[in-house]
Chains A and B, each alone.
Chain A
Amino acid sequence: KNEVEQSPQNLTAQEGEFITINCSYSVGISALHWLQQHPGGGIVSLFMLSSGKKKHGRLIATINIQEKHSSLHITASHPRDSAVYICAVHQGAQKLVFGQGTRLTINP
């Protein structure tokens, strides 16, 4: 079993739908990252969380430390949101553990 599990692995939705991507982890962490990888391969950091909730535009990220679970939500989804979303956790000094990613496709 991977230390960081994401679900679903693939998600297809229609433009405008509310999207939720989940991340569960089994190790102690100091912080959790949500990352976005576009088809060209480059990765952008969306959020870094150690507790609670963060919002940036149409994106919302939450984390529950006790339950070892985080969610990434996208409101009013748009085709340009199509990408692979990756959850990564900081485990100890500089060590990062990555989930396998969720491939999101938003159809017009």
Chain B
Amino acid sequence: DGGITQSPKYLFRKEGQNVTLSCEQNLNHDAMYWYRQDPGQGLRLIYYSQIVNDFQKGDIAEGYSVSREKKESFPLTVTSAQKNPTAFYLCASTGTSSTGELFFGEGSRLTVL
């Protein structure tokens, strides 16, 4: 079945460490997104990519980095520069149309100890 796979589901990190969250899709979608969700708040865009080897910053990109070396994969690195990284992270994708149906992964919950 086609879909988006995020891993890990839960992750604990010590302060000062970088961590990478994986997002893989087998939907043949061009556009992929990373969102952050904090309690009681809407989803906020971190980075998005519309095509391989290209990505743009979203509204809260500081302290994060991404890569898009393959169409299927859009990993997110939470760097030590991110001051408040504890949050729920969601990866999403859409097809080639700018109004394509949205697909989400199950999310990754990052906790900084």
Give A contacts to B, CB under 8 Å. 2, 4, 30-31, 33, 35, 40-45, 48, 50, 86, 88, 90, 92-96, 98-101
Contact = CB atoms under 8 A, between A and B. Distances in A.
Contact of A100 (B31, B41, B102, B103): B41
Nearest to B43: A98
B104 A45 contact: yes
A42 B107 CA distance: 6
B105 interface: yes
A30 B109 CA distance: 31
7 contacts: A30-B99, A33-B102, A42-B104, A45-B101, A48-B100, A94-B50, A96-B102
Interface in B57-113: 88, 90, 92, 94, 98-107, 109
A43 B40 CA distance: 15
A70 to B, nearest CB: 14
Contact of B98 (A40, A45, A94): A94
B27 to A, nearest CB: 12
Chain B at the A interface: SS class: strand
Contacts of A100: 40-42
A75 to B, nearest CB: 23
B48 A94 contact: yes
B99 A31 contact: yes
B98 A88 contact: no
Given A94-B94, A96-B45, A100-B40, A42 B102 contact: no
Nearest to A49: B99
Contact of A99 (B31, B42, B90): B42
Given A41-B109, A42-B107, A30 B98 contact: yes
A99 B102 CA distance: 15
A40 B44 CA distance: 19
B88 A96 contact: no
A77 to B, nearest CB: 23
Contacts of B35: 98
A50 B98 CA distance: 12
B106 A40 contact: yes
